[in-house]
Amino acid sequence: MEETFGGFVREKRRACGLTLRGLAAKLELSPVYMSNIENSRRAAPTHEYLDRLAEILQLDKADQERLLDLAAKSQHNRVSADLPNYIMDREIVRAALRTAKEADATDQEWQDFIDQINRRMKNSGEDKGSEA
């Protein structure tokens, strides 16, 4: 069965030891609304709520990204909430995405690109550490 936004939230809520009512109260949402979200009868709430939800559930970076991806799917959006501004603010990113789409870039090509960026970030961090 495919993972849903609501199922993901329920799993993380339970892992934090929160009740549905407790989470709803922290988000200032009704318990019925929160129940509808967890049972996939409602789409994910707005980005502001997603930020608060990630904080309350103490999600790490990977889980925050998963939360945003699942939220976008539940809202029938095509792009996770953390990406549109980055994409639209950078012409080169749009060009890269269009080129990758046209070329039907493989998962391996994307992984190679991610690995290259991660190496740069790691090396950049090491350079900063050696300057101290």
* Contact (Cβ atoms closer than 8 angstroms) between residue 26 and residue 17: no
- Whether the CA torsion 81, 87, 88, 94 is positive or negative: it is negative
3-state secondary structure (DSSP) of residue 131: helix
Mean pLDDT of the residues in the chain: 91
> Is the per-residue pLDDT at 78 higher than 90?
no
pTM of the model: 0.72
- Identity of residue 52: R
Map tokens 């993380």 to a residue: 12
Measured CA to CA in angstroms, residue 3 lies from 20, 23, 24, 70 at distances of: 19, 20, 21, 8
pLDDT digits (tens, 9 = 90+) for 18-39: 999 999 999 999 999 999 999 9
* Contact (Cβ atoms closer than 8 angstroms) between residue 23 and residue 34: yes
Among residues of the chain, what percentage have pLDDT more than 70? 94
CB atoms within 10 A of CB 68: 23
Give pLDDT, residue 127: 57
